[in-house]
Amino acid sequence: MIQPVKPTPTSLRETKASGRRLASLTAYDYPTARLLDDCGLDFLLVGDSLGMVVLGHPDTTQVTMADMIHHTRAVARGASQTLVAADLPAGSCTTPALAVENSRRLRDAGADLVKIEGGSECLPAIQAILADGIPLIGHLGMLPQRVLEEGGYRIKGKSTDDAERLCADALAIDQAGASAIVLELVHPPLAAAISKNLACPTIGIGSGEDCDGGILVLHDLIGLFPWFRPKFATPLADVATAIQNAARAYSRAQASS
Ligand code: KIV
């Protein structure tokens, strides 16, 4: 049997030209990556959202490079045909040299691309990572790594100043050579305008229907984190209930045997 060939990160930019929408989900472990590997996704993201949905932290700010490397290795073992992207966590890119060093560590753990949160203030780090030959995804709009400074998760780009800043940041990251840019909680008309203006694809999350693709935290799609679900995510399964039903049935069977 001929094994499918893993695409390269450049295929993400090429897909935009073809007009096909990109689809991505997060993955944090081997079995999930293996299950998702032949589901037609363009990339699996080892998101620092693992801080919340896997490690039980209140937000992503405490996720470390060690956490990201550990989970990236597991996902890379399970993803033979799908690109793996891994988040550079909070504090991992404070200088361009540190950003390159940490990107190399994620690449060595199995990531095909790294993702970095931030706009023009991160441009030197973004350029250094790309100059080092490591493909990269940008992340603009709501930046979960800055949720404590920002005081919550809010839609970005409603004011003219904010919209102009986001457009300029997106263009700079695109022109630097990013493979894609995640737009998180960006005012939908602005997300549509940014998407039209860039050569690289935009991957929306909570940013309307007019990005070049979409991404969701897997747990929000499959109902595996019932304690919190963002408004924009519609679960297509109820895995939390399935787990509890199976565990309760087992526990009852044990008690009565
Ligand atoms: O960490 C993550 O899962 C992400 C996605 C929500 C885009 O950054």
Per CATH, the number for 10-216 is 3.20.20.60
List of the chain residues with pLDDT < 70: 1, 3
What does the alpha-carbon distance between residue 69 and residue 92 come to, in Å, rounded to a whole number? Answer: 12
Q: How far is the CA of 182 from the centre of ligand 1 (A)?
A: 8
**pLDDT, position 4:** 72
- Domain extent listing, the chain: 10-216, 223-257
Please name the residues in contact with 205: beta carbons below 8 A apart, sequence gap of 6 or more: 182, 183, 184, 185, 214, 215, 216, 232
Q: Is 184 known to be catalytic?
A: yes
Which residues approach ligand 1 with their CB closer than 6 A? 26, 45, 47-49, 87, 182, 184, 205, 215, 217
Pocket test residue of 182, 202, 216 for ligand 1, highest count of atoms within 8 A of CB: 182
Average pLDDT, whole number, for the chain?
97
Which pLDDT value is given to residue 1?
Answer: 65
Residue 151 Cα to ligand 1 midpoint, Å, equals: 18
Q: Could you tell me what percent of the chain has a pLDDT over 90?
A: 95
Ligand 1 mean position, distance from CA 47 (Å): 5
